[in-house]
Structure 1
Amino acid sequence: MFPNLFPTPNGQFGSLPVMPIQAMTQQATRHARRVYVGGLPPSANEQTVATYFSQVMAAIGGNTAGPGDAVVNVYINHEKKFAFVEMRSVEEASNAMALDGIIFEGAPVKVRRPSDYNPSLAAALGPSQPSANLNLAAVGLNPGSSGGLEGPDRVFVGGLPYYFTEPQIRELLESFGALRGFDLVRDRETGNSKGYAFCVYQDVAVTDVACAALNGIKMGDKTLTVRRANQGSSQPRPEQESVLLHAQQQIAIQISVYLGLVLLMLAVFLQRLMLQPPATKVVCLTQVVTVDELRDDDEYEEIMEDMRTESSKFGTLVSVVIPRPQLDGSASPGVGKVFLEYAGVDGATNARAGMNGRKFGGNEVVAVFYPENKYYAGEYDG
């Protein structure tokens, strides 16, 4: 009836705008075709990430959707150093999960499922686990290890204080032996520790020893929970009792030494803080001039002019005093020192910070605040 509006060659509604089935399928499977990649270096961009993961997928035999690149799209959050990498198929995304811990531009990256991944829906779309036939050794990964942190010997370490750094946690765990893999779990948004980690020891024989020795130890206001990740707390075998006791003693000693060093550093800091005179409008410089330089009138005037010029950069300079030796050669109070008086404390503070540690005549200057009452009284021997 309306041949110009709806041309229907061969009885088909060929001109009706119908969404291709492939496009609908891509949208429905997108949550299962994306992978989260965390810990990217600052130099990473969409092109380098896409090229790298396409090449790696081809190298391990993870491409299952035919020839071409496995990666179809990359979104990077540069501020938080993570990316969402979209693969062509659900199966290729599952194969990419085996790349956890791979080195990208010199840094190991984490490969995870994104937060919108729905396991129940994904199960009907394709394989949810990497293929057992992937050649992970081709890219430097251990076959079947998922970055070295899977299997019955994986250790869960919970109750970690949030301020503990990754090197501190590794040092604690490595008291029992070298680690084959380690992963401190961090918040995706902030990058801060979530207070728990996973590790695997190179020598799996020490796994139970480490778990028993570390479990229940107090760390600040928290208590460690350390056990095999795939089971509850395990009981040590009788022949391990002496080893466990020794290990716990070593841990206690290490913690005591660490706390002792922290307290010592705090004490030194407080002592230095108390020894530092309060801020004044006068700064005293030492190790700036020598007695011989002060004897010569011309040299003295040059030094005085240099000091005025340099010191005026930090604030309004009121006066400069450089004590000289007596004419008969006898010593005078304050000889070898330079006193700078500023109109306000801010200028003196800037001068102290700017002059302290600088080199004059090969000597390193020491700058400290000087009591105003002694300066105005002409007492320069303090």
Structure 2
Amino acid sequence: MSTEESMHLFLVGLVRLQLETITYFGQITGANPAIPGMFPNMFPLATSQPFSALPVMPVQAMTQQATRHARRVYVGGLPPTANEQSVATFFSQVMAKIGGNTAGPGDAVVNVYINHDKKFAFVEMRSVEEASNAMALDGIIFEGAPVKVRRPTDYNPSLAATLGPSQPNPNLNLAAVGLTPGSAGGLDGPDRIFVGGLPYYFTETQIRELLETFGPLRGFDLVKDRETGNSKGYAFCVYQDLAVTDIACAALNGIKMGDKTLTVRRANQGANPQQPKPEQESILMHAQQQIALQKLMLQPALVATKVVCLTHAVSADELKDDEDYEEIVDDMRQECSKFGTLVNVVIPRPPHDGEPAAGVGKVFLEYVDVDGATKARAGLNGRKFDGNQVVAVFYPENKFAQGDYEG
């Protein structure tokens, strides 16, 4: 076959293929398509309606795949009861409450994948901007437990920057879902501080006030028992001004707070915190003076009252059965009556729905006078019940009278 004949057959085949393509798309759309690579009016058709070269869905699918890494968020620390539907509904609702939906009406969440063994999920949002807004939800309480909201490992910051905003909108209404800007977020990185040895009776507000002696916090997380909501005695924080990180560690580490000694250091540095630089010494001295004042403010927790609070004496599981509960109350009453005349013994119980409740895991002993309470605190503090070392502190009488067991 000659070269001319081969070229002729090739052109005939090409024309036939293009005719079939035109016929196919014409059947779908009734339109006259403009076929790339062909001359205008090569194959005139009866209709002159415009034609869209490709169906819409494949383009959307390609766009979704290209932006998927920037539209997904990692959610860690999920409770065992979580499922795809509950996670999708929850995050769609909270996104609407904070004003984080930017892709129009409807749910922000389009897909959820859960790894039940490792208790995490990937939550896919409709848009890149909505995924960035969801990053502000780090630390939100889901089914009674705070969850972590992070970027997935396949997130590409440089590529994501071309697709939409990479930071949450600063005008989000986080208060609508019980969050404050920087309340739990921003706790990753080399400037994260570990704060250990916190007295269990210190409230979250008191700890923040102590730490904020050095400046405002960008992130703060007091670690609590998931069942009882009580402090575990340690926290993590990050300062807005990272230059004060080592100053705060040097000033706070080793300070006596009640019957505890604080351990404060960079979380990734081990037991030897970095010392502040010479030019920071004056700032350190001023901060130590402020800490001394803070300690005076925190001393009321040690003022003797008629009420003693025991922590780590009982667990939530021990309090669920009615007979076991009554037996524990009787045992406490008998043991603690040795120190003075008891007026009341209060042991808060967990609710039947499994939700955290104030005071669960604590025992409150009300004595007829301060002398009895003082002897009880001295005699019970540090003792072991079922292998647990008990912490005994005085509790404000007015809060106890009001049934406020949160402190």
TM-score, normalised with respect to structure 1: 0.47
Rg comparison, structure with higher value: 1
TM-score, normalised with respect to structure 2: 0.44
